[in-house]
Amino acid sequence: MAKEGISVAVDVKAVATAGTPVFLTTREIECSAVVVAADGDNTGVIYLVDETTNTKKFPSGGLGAGDTITIPCTDPSKIQIDASVSADSVTWLAV
């Protein structure tokens, strides 16, 4: 798949099953940073997951409802998230 060269991409990703990491997207998008925002209605926390181990999670306390984090990266399809509660979600923005 060719990388998309767009100026801004926005999408929503839910974690279907808590404890099972999912990638933010399958789209390869050229960017310089990705902003991840935990949905305001989440009842648990969201973690970023190290894709090499699927066990190391950041931040240690998770992202609570409404929390955001900016990740310097060149492709959001490389970012995995997990949740402490099934169906919790994030909105992400690649710029």
Could you tell me the domains of the chain? 9-94 (2.60.120)
Q: Which pLDDT score is estimated for 53? A: 74
In this prediction, residue 4 has a pLDDT band, given cuts at 50, 70 and 90, of low
pLDDT in tens, 20-75: 999 999 999 999 999 999 999 999 999 999 877 777 788 889 999 999 999 999 99
Q: State the pTM of this model.
A: 0.89
- CB within 8 A of 22, min separation 6: which ones? 13, 15, 16, 80, 81, 82
For residue 77, is pLDDT > 70?
Answer: yes
Cis? peptide before 21, omega within 30° of 0:
no
For residue 3, is pLDDT > 80?
Answer: no
DSSP state of 64: P
